[in-house]
Structure 1
Amino acid sequence: MSVEHRRIALVDLLDRLLAGGVVITGDLTLSIADVDLVRVDLKALVSSVSDELPAPWGQPV
């Protein structure tokens, strides 16, 4: 079976993506009459959680 026709289960695809991490970015601009009023830049890192790596914000008390 060639690579183009190989089927991957959605669960397996999500597992592979989360194991390596995924960065999602987006830009949103609201404008009226070609005047930019609001600009929002979105960036998110989605990855799996591991007990071996500490959380970047510290441990809760």
Structure 2
Amino acid sequence: MTVPARAGDRNVALVDLLDRVLAGGVVVSGEITLAIADVDLVHISLRTLVTSISALQPHHE
């Protein structure tokens, strides 16, 4: 499966895209509000970090 890239209209394999995301990391965030009759009852904020373990470890030389 390939995903069209924005820069240069070239196709990028999904594996390559996943490798880039895991190497650098990405933060996904969102908010959910449950309301009845325009009264907010529950507000949930979600945030997650997606990365590889090796990207989080400090590099020792």
TM-score scaled by structure 2? 0.76
The structure in which a higher percent of residues are helix is 2
**1:4-42 deviation digits (Å, cap 9, x = unpaired):** x20000000000011000000000000000000000000
Pairwise CA RMSD of aligned residues? 2.2
Question: Which residues of structure 1 form unaligned runs of 5+?
Answer: 55-61
Percent identical: 60
- Indicate the residue corresponding to 1:42 in structure 2: 46
* Runs of 4 or more consecutive aligned structure 1 residues displaced over 4 Å after TM superposition: none
The structure in which a higher percent of residues are strand is 2
AA aligned opposite 2:41: L
Which structure has the larger Rg? Answer: 1
Question: Which residues of structure 2 form unaligned runs of 5+?
Answer: 1-6
Aligned length: 52
